[in-house]
């Protein structure tokens, strides 16, 4: 067995999966379906049952996912999907990478008191929250004590729309951000991959990968060190997929002075990560 493969095995086995005794940030609701306490994250894992998952533990902290299928009933999710699809001010954002402009392969809109900048392009503050999104934000507050002040809405028009590998680690999201993501419409696979150790020089081949199919009405909360230690994406699919809306509720802070950029992708990161490649 090659050194790399051996290391990956070891890495795969330490990432022990335990139920959270008491969630730190998604506080109030206690999930009962945490039957995976004895299992471990394998190199390639599929999470398809509701539950709380500890996906890694590093010096930066514990990375956690909380998955709840049917967070919205089918009727609620159908109604919400149709309302948001037809009424939100969807548009296609232009981003910049290494000085080159490109159109995002999906439509987006943003609600929050502060602007949100990623990939060298800013979504303006927008306080005109539709009542449906305010209700969902209140529901997340009531059920999990989450104080989320903004939402990035993504519309994947078909299987050809996507979002590439990234972490939600902009300085404006603060340390250890909690992201609550609600999916509506067709099921798409949300993938996570663990960031490699520095000696791997950006090679993700033997890093743990997790796939989470996100269906109509599902809630996924990412918390702890998930944005420090993992990346996520929704890849293109080459068979037919209907439209899907994803709502990622976040807490945005005034951007601190002195942030810096990832050397590879130019994302803005916290000052403590200066020189870091995400
Ligand atoms: O569509 C999704 O499930 C993920 C969206 C996402 O990664 C993001 O908005 O940062």
| CATH number, domain containing residue 85 | 2.60.120.590
DSSP symbols for the chain: --HHHHHHHHHHHHSB----SS-SSS-S------TTTT-B--SEEE--SSEEEEEEEETTEEEEEEEETTSS-HHHHHHHHHHHHHHS--BPPEEEETTEEEE-SSEEEEEESS-EEETTEEEPPB----HHHHHHHHHHHHHH-----EEEEEEE-STT--EEEE----GGG-SS--EEEEEEES-EEEEEEEPPPGGGTT--TTS-EEEEEE-TTEEEEEEETHHHHEEEEE---SS----EEEEEEE---PPPTT-EE-TTT--EE-GGGTT---
- pLDDT given for residue 25 in this prediction: 53
First to last CA, the chain: 28
Report the separation in Å between the CA atom of 14 and the middle of ligand 1, taken as the mean of its atom positions. Answer: 27
Ligand 1 atom closest to Cα of residue 188: 3
Q: Let me know: does 17 contact 53? Beta carbons within 8 Å.
A: yes
Residue at token pair 């942030």: 259
Distance of CA 38 to the CA centre of its chain: 25
Report the separation in Å between the CA atom of 182 and the middle of ligand 1, taken as the mean of its atom positions. Answer: 10
Ligand 1 atom closest to Cα of residue 220: 3
Structure tokens at 230: 């993992």
pTM for this prediction: 0.83
How many other CB atoms sit within 10 Å of the CB of residue 28? 11
Q: List Cβ neighbours of 62 (8 Å cut-off, separation of 6 or more).
A: 54, 56, 224, 225
Residue 222 lies in a domain: yes
Residue 205 lies in a domain: yes
Q: List Cβ neighbours of 6 (8 Å cut-off, separation of 6 or more).
A: none
Q: Which residues of 51-68 are buried (b: 16+ CB within 10 A; e: fewer)?
A: bbbbbbbbebbbbbbbbb
Residue nearest to atom 7 of ligand 1 (CA): 233
Residue at token pair 């005034």: 254
- pLDDT given for residue 122 in this prediction: 87
Residue 278 lies in a domain: no
Residue 142 lies in a domain: yes
Report the separation in Å between the CA atom of 67 and the middle of ligand 1, taken as the mean of its atom positions. Answer: 15
Whole-number Cα distances in Å, 213 to 50, 61, 217, 253: 11, 25, 12, 30
Report the separation in Å between the CA atom of 163 and the middle of ligand 1, taken as the mean of its atom positions. Answer: 7
Give the C-alpha separation, 29 to 87, whole Å: 31
Residue 93 lies in a domain: yes
Ligand 1 pocket: which of 67, 152, 163 to mutate (most atoms within 8 A of CB): 163
Which residues surround ligand 1 with Cβ inside 6 Å?
A: 152, 154, 163, 168, 181, 190, 214, 232, 234, 246, 248
Structural domain count, the chain: 1
Give the C-alpha separation, 133 to 138, whole Å: 9
Residue 127 lies in a domain: yes
Name the residue range of residue 149's domain.
3-273
pLDDT, tens digit only, all 278 positions of the chain: 444 444 443 333 333 333 333 333 565 554 433 434 335 667 789 999 999 999 999 999 999 999 999 999 999 999 999 999 999 999 998 888 888 888 999 999 999 999 988 878 888 899 999 999 999 999 999 999 999 999 999 999 999 999 999 999 998 999 999 999 999 999 999 999 999 999 999 999 999 999 999 999 999 999 999 999 999 999 999 889 999 999 999 999 987 665 555 555 555 555 545 454 54
């Amino acid at each position: 067995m090659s050194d790399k493969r051996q290391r990956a095995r070891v890495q795969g086995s330490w990432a022990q999966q335990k139920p959270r005794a008491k969630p730190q940030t998604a506080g109030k609701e206690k999930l009962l379906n945490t039957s995976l306490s004895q299992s471990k994250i394998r190199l390639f894992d599929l999470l398809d049952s509701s539950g709380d998952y500890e996906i890694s533990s590093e010096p930066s902290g514990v990375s956690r996912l909380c998955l709840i299928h049917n967070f919205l009933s089918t009727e609620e999710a159908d109604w919400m999907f149709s309302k948001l699809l037809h009424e939100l001010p969807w548009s296609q954002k232009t981003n910049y990478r290494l000085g080159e402009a490109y159109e995002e392969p999906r439509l987006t809109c943003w609600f929050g008191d502060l602007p949100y900048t990623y990939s060298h392009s800013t979504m303006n503050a927008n306080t005109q929250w539709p009542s449906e999104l305010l209700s969902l934000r209140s529901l997340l507050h009531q059920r999990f004590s989450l104080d989320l002040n903004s939402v990035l809405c993504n519309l994947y028009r078909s299987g050809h729309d996507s979002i590439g590998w990234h972490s939600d680690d902009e300085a404006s999201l603060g340390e250890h951000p909690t992201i609550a993501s609600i999916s509506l419409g067709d099921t798409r696979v949300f993938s996570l991959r663990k960031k490699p150790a520095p000696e791997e020089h950006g090679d993700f081949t033997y890093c743990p990968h997790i796939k989470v199919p996100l269906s109509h009405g599902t809630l996924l909360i990412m918390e702890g060190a998930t944005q420090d230690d993992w990346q996520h994406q929704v890849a293109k699919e080459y068979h037919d997929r209907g439209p899907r809306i994803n709502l990622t509720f976040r807490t945005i802070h005034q951007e601190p002075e002195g942030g810096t950029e990832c050397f590879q992708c130019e994302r803005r990161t916290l000052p403590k990560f200066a020189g870091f490649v995400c």
